[in-house]
Amino acid sequence: MVEKAELVSKVLVLEESADCAVRIKAFCDANNLVGVKAQLENVMGVLKSNVDLGAIFLCEGYGGDDGGVALAREIHEVRPELPVFLRRNGVDDLDSFSEHDRSLFSQAYSIDNIDKLGPVVNETIFSLVYPNALVRGITEITKAALESQFKDMDVNSEAPYIVRDRIIYGELFTLIPLESNWCRGYMMLQTEEQPLVRFVEAGKTHIATDSMVNFRDINHVLGEVTNLVWGSFRNRFVAFEPLEGRASQVPIIVNHLHRYISFGSEDPQLCFKYTLSDKSGDGPNLVLYQRFVFNLSWSPDKFKENEALVEDLFDSGKLELF
């Protein structure tokens, strides 16, 4: 039995009733959800930004009698991948809606029956089980890679979380495939260009700074980090066995205008956030997002961490008797 890692997911709560908001917060706390809120006039701006989300909780009367449904139509245009849970007064179904409007929502509920959303949340947001050893190990190997490539920097990581959106953070991202008998998909690293340029200019990387820094220099830095993480991932989590069956592929779609990337799958993504800051306290921070999408194959029951035998460590001289 694969143990499920305790991951969280941010959800946008659009609710006008203070009493209902208290009930929704209690539900979020009990179901590993972190609720965030926005004013009506700011909702679309938030959704068009780089805020990572797993779902939206929307009340039917938000912004007016039919404001919730009208807003759901706008939300669907901007972030169609996000499940929307609609709170209704007195009923917990969508039977009175048109077929098109019903398609906008993953589930309707009344506040007295909010617990019915528990299984739906698990199905739509936490649908994939991520072994704790994998989640913990990804953070360890990524922090080690960042610390090896950036000088005199503190590397801090936040709690891993699940996202359902497909947005791209910043102007620079790398993409590398991951393949094994228990998973097939991709790892992405995403960041902003200017903070990374300033790190290179300040001599915080292994890039020589005798001349003006250009985009190829920062490409090299992020590419090297990606290679290091990928290599450590393979060594730690991938058994060197032939892949089973035929290796299928799906198109990857990138829309730069809308900062959007699609892997042809509705599966959620495992996301990590790292912040690099100068130990001296000077200069800007560098924020880096790491995402894993196992869109081609996911069999966590076959997952195992590669463990070196003690005898091998003795033979190599890495371990000695005390």
Q: What is the mean pLDDT of residues 285-312?
A: 81
**Above 60 in pLDDT, residue 318?**
no
Query: What pLDDT score was predicted for residue 241?
Result: 64
Query: What pLDDT score was predicted for residue 290?
Result: 96
Report the distance separating Cα 207 and Cα 150, nearest Å. 10
Q: Give the tens place of pLDDT for each residue, 175-186.
A: 999 998 899 999
Query: What pLDDT score was predicted for residue 14?
Result: 95
Mean pLDDT of the chain: 86
Query: Percentage of the chain with pLDDT > 90?
Result: 50
Query: Given pLDDT bands bounded at 50, 70 and 90, which one contains residue 313?
Result: very low
Query: Percentage of the chain with pLDDT > 70?
Result: 89
Contact 248, 296 (CB under 8 A): yes
**Above 70 in pLDDT, residue 134?**
yes
- Residue 38, C-beta contacts closer than 8 angstroms, at least 6 positions apart: 12, 14, 46
Phi first, then psi: give them for residue 205, nearest 5 degrees: -125, -175
Q: What is the mean pLDDT of residues 166-179?
A: 91
**Above 90 in pLDDT, residue 311?**
no
Q: What is the mean pLDDT of residues 67-86?
A: 91
Query: What pLDDT score was predicted for residue 310?
Result: 41
Q: Give the tens place of pLDDT for each residue, 27-39.
A: 999 999 999 998 8
**Above 80 in pLDDT, residue 4?**
no
Q: Where in the chain are all domains bearing CATH 3.40.1550.10?
A: 132-302
Q: Where in the chain are all domains bearing CATH 3.40.50.2300?
A: 9-124
Query: What pLDDT score was predicted for residue 251?
Result: 86
**Above 60 in pLDDT, residue 170?**
yes
Which of 75-79, 136-140, 163-167 is modeled with the greatest confidence?
A: 136-140
φ/ψ bin of 148: left (φ > 0), alpha (ψ from -120 to 50), beta (otherwise): alpha
Query: Given pLDDT bands bounded at 50, 70 and 90, which one contains residue 312?
Result: low
Query: What pLDDT score was predicted for residue 110?
Result: 94
Query: What pLDDT score was predicted for residue 322?
Result: 44
Fold of 9-124: Rossmann fold (3.40.50)
**Above 80 in pLDDT, residue 248?**
no
Query: Given pLDDT bands bounded at 50, 70 and 90, which one contains residue 307?
Result: low
Fold of 132-302: Chemotaxis protein chec (3.40.1550)
Q: Give the tens place of pLDDT for each residue, 225-245.
A: 999 999 999 988 987 666 665
